[in-house]
Amino acid sequence: MQTPINTFKQALQNKQAQIGLWLGLASPYSTEICAGAGFDWLLLDGEHAPNDVNSILAQLQVIAGYPASHAIARVPMGHGHLGEALIKQYLDIGVQTLLVPMVDTAAQAAALVRASRYPPQGIRGMGGARASLWGRYPNYPHEANAQVCLLVQAETQTALDNLEAIAATDGVDGVFIGPADLSASMGHVANPGHPNVQKAIEAAISTIVKAGKAAGILTTDEALSRRYLDLGATFVAVGLDTNLLVRHTSALASSFKPSAPAAPLNKTY
């Protein structure tokens, strides 16, 4: 049996826009509903959602039934020994594409590359697991490195200051701009639409694209999503399952009960 090809990584290399949805409900049931919608990728959030390795695994198994949608998983952290352990576990359960938050320097990015690769390119531990179908992919140890897609998040002013070096790091396939944390870092808490933040995001997308890497971002604002795509962003998340549920349940309730709580105005989360 052949080691599966990472089609999402191929699409990024071919500069094909990939439209995604953020999943934070941590439920295989809701994940299957979203997997049937036809998004190019689905982000399983291990940072801000109540996911653990077992719940990520269950959702990977569900998404596998919808091969047109690629599963990406975000680890809660990627730095240090704990981060390395989590990256190893996520890869072993079959995650091909990782999103790692709070990457501020090229040295951190390089360490994440090493954590996600088998020797001699990295330090990932060898072991039979779901990723290799417990040895049924006989060439997995030799082919896995090429199929791992590493996306790092730049979401602070420090990261933007080091963005050119981060994007130039060999083994980093894409850089994801985190609007919420970036706006906070820039002194505009909960206001990613601030002109200074938007100016910084647009400049960041340009820097990433010039480095030959894929630029990504999340926004529930359709006009902004299309703007980022026009600027060259390749992987763009255009919604969140939690946000969709909040907005539509609030709208339905208020259509019958004017006293119902209004839907949040926040367009980031």
Catalytic residues: 48
Nearest to 159 by CA among 176, 136, 141, 140: 176
Q: Are 171 and 147 in contact (CB under 8 A)?
A: no
Q: Which residues 6+ apart lie within 8 Å of 24 measured at CB?
A: 45, 48, 49, 240, 241, 242
Alpha helices in 93-162 (DSSP H): 106-115, 140-147, 157-161
Q: Are 192 and 268 in contact (CB under 8 A)?
A: yes
Q: Which residues 6+ apart lie within 8 Å of 258 measured at CB?
A: none
Nearest to 214 by CA among 262, 260, 149, 268: 149
Nearest to 110 by CA among 121, 125, 126: 121
Q: Are strands 149-154 and 70-74 parallel, antiparallel or unpaired?
A: unpaired
- Measured distance CA(122)–CA(204) in Å, rounded: 28
Question: One-letter amino acid identity for 227?
Answer: R
Q: Token match 């130039």: residue?
A: 168
Nearest to 91 by CA among 151, 47, 131: 131
First to last CA, the chain: 41
- Measured distance CA(263)–CA(259) in Å, rounded: 12
